[in-house]
Amino acid sequence: MYRASSWRVAAGGSAILLAAAVLGVVPAHGAEPASTCVKGGAKFSAPPAPTQPNRYYMARHISVTVLGNSGGGLGELAKGTTGTDGQYRICFAASRLNRLIVRLATENDVWATLDKDNNPYGLTASLSDVPAAAEVDFGVLAPTGGDDPAWHAFDTLNNLFPVVKAATGCWTANDAQGACRKILMKWWPGSTEPTEYRFAENTVYLSDKSPDSQHIVLHEAGHSLMWKLFDHTWWPDDNCAGHQAHRKLTRRCAWTEGFADAVAGHIKGDNAYVDENGGTVDLVNHEPHDPGKPLMVNGPDRNWNDGDDTQGRVAGSLLEWWAYPGSGGLKGTVTHLDGSNNPRHDNAGPANFEEYYGRADMLNKNPDAKSIFSDNTITY
């Protein structure tokens, strides 16, 4: 008998059965003798952008764990992840199995989405009385119970990781291969937690609707990425609460918030920040501050503070620099910030935008960088 379920693991608990389906079992072809193969995939429902109708997406690079038994207790038979198409096929040596289980979860070796109790969201399919050398197709599973935003948040980081991935296979070269410190995100239905990165926990918290905006998820992941680049040794001790793109902050807050905004706008390819309700801020603004007019973030009367203590000015400078030929893009900045790759970097982390570009010698190596920053009202 085949069963499929969507679950969130409780500490010391087990999966809850929610749905059932029909499964075909056929002999495996092309596998090693006496090998059993399992295949399938996962999908989730999410809006392409805030306020738009949902559509289905395949769940990429989620973990796949295969369990089974042939008389004793359940044991792990194999593990892997789904591919870029959200599907998997895993083969392993096994005799006839009394029970075969596949568990898919919102985690891998590099990032994870967790529930309120720090457990990943998951999907389970099982089958009884599986012959040796079988090809078992569990089909494409989907979450139930309103958990899709957790899968959406997880999937969003598939767009960031390949861009910044270090040679060690981790977010930064500060971590050794096979020992990556993950970007952790926590979300649960109806969450009223403020959306923020809590560096003391190395965890991104997402409120109920935040996963609808990939910009929000990428912005918060950008904070976690910066913390990893500085090897968990630095964070602005200023209070950045209530930060806005067009208003002056401290230089430290403008640097870290501007970097996070730029990460989101760069990965999305729109040079913007979009909130969960669809509100959009264009992060590239070459108009200098008009002291005779009120501050305004958007619209025909847009009026921002100037300089590298303004979040949007830092973001715009980074976005235009990353688009400049020969800049190395976001990856180039990540490489310069990564302490293990930059002998000039002491892992304490540059405390502001000027300090980073001074260390990276950008202004001396390329005068066009100075021009780009000046266009965004940052002059040195």
CA atoms of 51 and 54, how far apart (whole Å): 9
DSSP per position, 10-76: PTT--PPP-B-----EEE-SSSPTTEEEEEEEEEEEE-SSTTSPPEEEE-TT-EEEEEEESSSS-EE
Q: What are the residue ranges of helices labelled H in the chain?
A: 148-156, 161-164, 214-229, 251-268, 311-322, 329-337, 353-359, 362-365, 367-375
pLDDT of residue 34: 59
For the chain, the first-to-last Cα distance in angstroms comes to: 70
CA atoms of 205 and 199, how far apart (whole Å): 11
Q: 351: which DSSP letter?
A: S
Enumerate domains of the chain plus CATH numbers: 2-146 (2.60.40.10), 159-375 (no CATH)
CB 305 within 8 A of CB 297: no
How far out from the chain centre does Cα 113 lie?
9
Q: Which residues, at least 6 apart from 264, have a Cβ–Cβ distance to it below 8 Å?
A: 214, 215, 216, 218, 219, 222, 273
pLDDT of residue 78: 96
What is the pTM for the complete model shown?
0.90
Between strands 55-58 and 35-46, the pairing is: antiparallel
pLDDT of residue 364: 67
pLDDT of residue 294: 97
What angle in degrees, to the nearest 10, is found between the helix axes of 214-229 and 329-337? 30
Sign of CA dihedral 202, 355, 330, 245: positive
DSSP per position, 165-177: --TTSSSSTTS-T
pLDDT of residue 237: 63
Q: What is the mean pLDDT of each run of 10 residues along the chain (380 residues)?
A: 49 27 37 76 97 97 95 91 97 93 98 98 96 95 95 98 96 93 97 94 96 98 93 70 91 94 98 97 97 96 96 97 92 81 53 78 75 93
Helix (H) or strand (E) holding 273: strand 272-274
Residue 353, token pair as written in the block: 């935008």
Q: 181: which DSSP letter?
A: P
CA atoms of 82 and 63, how far apart (whole Å): 7
CA atoms of 311 and 261, how far apart (whole Å): 8
CB 231 within 8 A of CB 285: no
- Select from 50, 12, 2 the least CA-distant residue to 210: 50
Q: Which residues, at least 6 apart from 55, have a Cβ–Cβ distance to it below 8 Å?
A: 45, 46, 47, 48
- Backbone region of residue 151 per phi and psi (left: phi > 0; alpha: psi in -120 to 50; beta: other values): alpha
